[in-house]
A = this chain, B = another copy of it.
């Protein structure tokens, strides 16, 4: 049974404004919920169609029709969890990081979080106008990876002034990432889907790099931000860790 006020709360969590107000977000499906729990996320309430799982006080049995009504997915799963947004951990000025400058598409953010988890990148820096990592689309797309990577929202230009790390950014006229000497620790800046890295940040980039293009016709405009991140992370790890 889902009460009216619970339905209203859950539905509101599709919007960032209400996630910020309540400090809550939604994760759906046993797999995503299990991953979030394993990584220490606090469950505020669980709605499940499995009657055997409703012993705990904050667990509620729902029918398929009720779950469908509160679910954000096209095809509702068997459970929906409301979780607390954790307090941000302290940002460490070390290691390999990815910085996202106004990456707007939740699908791209989700893919990049998964990539960071795969390549052992523990901190992602996001400009304040980057997609929200507690957006339901991101939570589902990352399949739990989100729980293993720390995501910090901050002013990139302020942080770039303070950091001691080298700052890499992709540019058409940069040096080939295959020949440039890459460092073990550093920041890889990925720009907005349409406009690339913003003017204000370009001057802070200490190493301009590029992914060489092999197509004969040289017409492809650019790689998608998520596939470019995949290639750069692979190159950093290959050349400094293997």
Question: Does A235 touch B at the CB level, under 8 Å?
Answer: yes
Q: Nearest-CB distance from A107 to chain B (Å)?
A: 8
Instruction: Closest B residue to A224 by CB, please name it.
Output: B111
Q: Are B179 and A242 in contact (CB under 8 A)?
A: yes
> Which B residues are in CB contact (< 8 Å) with A119?
213-215
> Which B residues are in CB contact (< 8 Å) with A215?
117-120, 148
Question: Does A238 touch B at the CB level, under 8 Å?
Answer: yes
Question: Does A16 touch B at the CB level, under 8 Å?
Answer: no
> Which B residues are in CB contact (< 8 Å) with A227?
111, 114-115, 226-227, 229-230
Q: Nearest-CB distance from A210 to chain B (Å)?
A: 12
Interface membership of chain A positions 203-239, coded 1 if the CB is closer than 8 angstroms to chain B and 0 otherwise: 0000000011111110111011011111100110110
Q: Nearest-CB distance from A229 to chain B (Å)?
A: 8
Q: Nearest-CB distance from A12 to chain B (Å)?
A: 24
The interface on chain A, measured as residues whose beta carbon lies within 8 A of the other chain's beta carbons, has a size of 40
Q: Are B217 and A148 in contact (CB under 8 A)?
A: yes
Q: Nearest-CB distance from A104 to chain B (Å)?
A: 15
Of residues 169 to 211 in A, which have CB atoms within 8 Å of B's CB atoms?
A: 176, 178-179, 211
Q: What are 7 A-B contacts defined by CB distance under 8 Å?
A: A117-B220, A118-B213, A120-B215, A176-B242, A227-B227, A230-B230, A234-B235
Q: Considering the chains assembled together, what is the distance between the CA atoms of A143 and B234 in angstroms? A: 26
Question: Does A57 touch B at the CB level, under 8 Å?
Answer: no
Q: Given A227-B111, A242-B179, is A118 in contact with B214 using a C-beta cutoff of 8 Å?
A: yes
> Which B residues are in CB contact (< 8 Å) with A230?
223, 227-228, 230-231
Q: Are A114 and B220 in contact (CB under 8 A)?
A: yes
In this complex, which of A144, A214, A219 has the most chain B Cβ atoms within 10 angstroms of its Cβ?
Answer: A214
